[in-house]
Amino acid sequence: MDRSEFVFRPEKGMRLSDFPTDSIGEFAGEQEAQERMREDAEALARHQDILMAHETHGLLVLLQGMDAGGKDEAIRHVLSATNPQGCRAVAFKAPTPEEVAHGFLWRAMAATPARGQIVVFNRSYYEQVVTERVHPAQIERRGLPSHLTGEQIWESRYRQINDFERYLSENNIHVLKFFLHLSREEQRRRLIERIDRPDKRWMFSTSDIEERAHWSAYMSAYERAFHHTSTEHAPWHVIPAGQRWFGRAAVASVILAALKSLHGGYPRPSAAEKEEMERAREQLEGEGPAG
């Protein structure tokens, strides 16, 4: 799967409408995609192990999208293929009073991965240029002076996000950003499914219906954010999420490609390390079998 087909490129004047929501790419159907995902899961586990062995690169994965877009499913799929010692998920819900009292990137900084680790954000600091743009009254909670709010706040936040992601990149923490692209009609079907199925009712919230009424405003806010923050070092990937299985397969494929690009294989020991291991081998072999 070519990861470049999902990249939002502002310089080409792209819009969200340029990206399909129901594409299944090169797959003939779900079964073929499932087979590819199994292969990718094995490869992802190996390359995560290599990432942990080197401890020189980290990977931050951001998942954004409308309610019922498949963020939780994508996270479960990715995490199921990884070693939990080196991968964790962080859910960004409404900020706490302590978080509101800090800059909007404060809680994200504390949750970024160490080198050798993978962290997946379920929603992220992009809520502060999307949700807060749709609901500007939320900004009032932050107690910012008037000269820092108003329309200029968005340009400031876009710049701060780009600076933050560049800072991470220059410290070998690579940022992968995904928008799970869903149609309004498909969201309607999935929300009804949540109501009808006993195993999914716990996921339903009336706020999903309230936010759905702002669909056009959300699409506009996301598009503006992508135009300002899809950069060479941290591009946005717009993933067709109309078919759940394709969305999961595409996300896993892009993550795997990113991991492969970081290391060609396991670290090679230095001459001194080889000598030390040989001495250890001689010592262990000299002990003989336990009697």
Query: Using N-to-C axis directions, what is the helix angle for 30-54 and 244-262, rounded to 10°?
Result: 30
Per-residue model confidence (pLDDT) at position 79? 84
Per-residue pLDDT at 3: 76
Give the per-residue pLDDT at 86. 96
In the predicted model, residues of the chain with pLDDT beneath 70 are 290-291
Does the predicted TM-score (pTM) go above 0.85? yes
Q: Choose among 222, 198, 227: nearest CA to 69.
A: 222
Helix orientation angle between 30-54 and 71-80, rounded to the nearest 10 degrees: 60
Distance between CA 77 and CA 218 in Å, rounded? 26
Tokens read off for 282: 């001689």
Show me where the domains of the chain are located.
3-287
CA distance 255 to 60: 10
Residue 90 main-chain phi, psi, to 5 deg: -125, 125
What is the rounded CA–CA span in Å between residue 183 and residue 196?
A: 20
3-state secondary structure the chain: CCHHHHECCHHHCCCHHHCCCCCCCCCCCHHHHHHHHHHHHHHHHHHHHHHHHHCCCEEEEEEEECCCCCHHHHHHHHHHCCCCCCEEEEECCCCCHHHHCCCCCHHHHHHCCCCCCEEEEECCHHHHCCHHHHCHHHHHHHCCCHHHCCCHHHHHHHHHHHHHHHHHHHCCEEEEEEEEECCHHHHHHHHHHHHHCCCCHHHCCHHHHHHHCCHHHHHHHHHHHHHHHCCCCCCEEEEECCCHHHHHHHHHHHHHHHHHHHCCCCCCCCHHHHHHHHHHHHHHHHHCCCC
Which fold, 3-287? Rossmann fold (3.40.50)
